[in-house]
Amino acid sequence: MPRQPRLDVPGLLQHVMARGIERREIFKDDKDRKSFLDRLSTILEETQTQCYAWALIPNHFHLLLRTGLTPLSKVMRRLMTGYAVTFNRRHKRSGHLFQNRYKSIVCEDDPYLLELIRYIYLNPLRASLVKDFKELDKYPWTGHSYILGKKRNPLIPEAFTGKSFSAARRIAFSQFHPGLKKEQTNHENPASPVKFEDHFTGVDPIKDSKFLAEKTIEDVLLHFGDTLTVARTRYRQFIKNGIDEGTRPELQGGGLIRSAGGNKADLLGRKKEERDPPDSPERAQARDGGLGKGDERILGSGDFVTETLIKSGEEWEKHQRDRMSLQELIEKVASYLDLKTERIISASRRKEITEARALVCHLAINDLSYSASEVARSLAISRVNAGRCAERGKIVLDNYKDL
């Protein structure tokens, strides 16, 4: 079955996961993990992409992102390609590091933002990377310990500060660092602690110098309280409460199954009109295509699923209109390699021809979002071979970086 196009609408919350090829380790030591976070921090700041939660597990990672104007696909391509090159060079290996492309699930903010933060931050405990919750509080390879203010936030890029940690934290990290501003005092009323919003009113060099990673932590903590101490205490308890909740079925499955709290039996036991009530023509059209019933790309209520598909559908249709046609792509690759177009479509097994086909498949499927079936029809090959060619094309493209 051809994979579905990504739902890459600016401003949407997305849970992103990527796993090592054949479930192999993608982080062998702390130097690898730091390299990944250094790259991630720079990309997030440059693209103004918010990261609400992250966790590095030896053979995969989780990110909870909200994109700005830069599409998620570009953010992830920079992150994963750059890290893979660095990892391969350091460990003297070659070939793919990640298993296929990353997986992303569009998430409805309410109620899933906080639930996904908790789900991601408990991953090291579930994976037995830490022995208990107290150790998780200090574990450096998720964002949990940084929300608690245990140490410098690695998602604040050092290259942007131009300062040492000790100098930078006095300016940029003080509102989240214990011992510097555990709690501000209202000097007009010493008994009244200063609230979050009071910390950053008027002309304040601390506020003005804040990075997006700091603002994102503040956004998370503001869900739990008006003062830093209260917010952190409640936040920690919220994360801890998730230990006893076990697996979360409502965070699994797709579409309306998720909106039913993960209860498939309850959902499937209803009459069709109860599962899929009549609505506006737009919603009806989305449902008629089966999109609102179980879309694995979306985590949210039925209405959110449908609204997202309608909105992203508009973006997708525009992309379909604007993108290069497959015939034009084949002609451009042929011209670049000084080949005749018909040779690429032929059954020739000559190296230059098979490489050309591999390039067409890779660019069409991974960059232009055509399905393997569409590409296969254009090249007169099978869908399976189109997929294999796309994988090979990723390697071949290294020889034609200016293509």
Looking at residue 355, which CATH number applies to its domain?
1.10.1750.10
Is the same domain home to 229 and 135?
yes
Cis peptide preceding 10, ω within 30 of 0: no
Q: Tens digits of per-residue pLDDT, 163-176?
A: 444 433 333 333 44
Residue 359 shares a structural domain with residue 280: no
Model pLDDT, residue 50: 94
Q: Is the pLDDT of residue 224 over 90?
A: yes
**Which positions ≥6 away from 189 have C-beta within 8 Å?**
none
Residue pLDDT, tens place only, 331-349 = 999 999 998 888 888 888 8
The answer on 253 and 240 residing in a single domain is no
Number of domains observed in the structure of the chain: 3
Return the exposure string of 266-294: e unless at least 16 CB atoms fall within 10 Å of the residue's CB, then b: ebeeeeeeeebeeeeeebebbbeeebbbb
What is the pLDDT at residue 276? 43
Where a domain ends, among 246, 267, 292? 246
Please tell me whether residues 163 and 281 are part of one structural domain.
Answer: no
Q: How far is CA 53 from the centre of its chain?
A: 10
Question: Do residue 281 and residue 215 come from a single domain?
Answer: no
Segment 184-196 shows an average pLDDT of: 41
CATH number at residue 75: 3.30.70.1290
Domain boundary among 305, 322, 339: 322
298's CB contacts (< 8 A; 6+ apart) are: 7, 105, 106, 107, 254, 255, 258, 304, 305, 308, 309
149 and 37 share one domain: yes
**Of 294, 322, 350, which residue sits at a domain end?**
322
Comparing 393 with 253, which gets the higher pLDDT? Answer: 393
Which range, of 57-61, 255-259, 389-393, averages the lowest pLDDT?
A: 255-259
377 in the same domain as 295:
no
72 plus 115 within the same structural domain:
yes
Residue 394 has pLDDT above 80, yes or no: yes
Same domain for 215 and 290, yes or no, is no
Give yes or no for residue 159 having a pLDDT over 70: no
Percent of the chain clearing pLDDT 70 (strictly above): 69
pTM: 0.61
At residue 395, the pLDDT reads 87
Quick: pLDDT tens for 66-86: 988 889 999 999 999 999 999
- Strand 50-57's sheet: what is its strand order? 50-57, 60-66, 13-19, 103-107, 298-299
Identity of residue 341: T
pLDDT at 309: 72
271 and 172 in a common domain: no
Q: Mean pLDDT of all residues in the chain?
A: 76
Q: What is the pLDDT of residue 289?
A: 39
122 and 144 Cβ atoms separated by less than 8 Å: no
- Structural domain containing residue 278: 249-322
Query: Does residue 183 sit in the same domain as residue 297?
Result: no
Q: 3-state DSSP call for residue 254?
A: coil
Residues 274 and 151 placed together within one structural domain of the fold? no
State the sign of the Cα–Cα–Cα–Cα dihedral 218, 223, 229, 235: negative
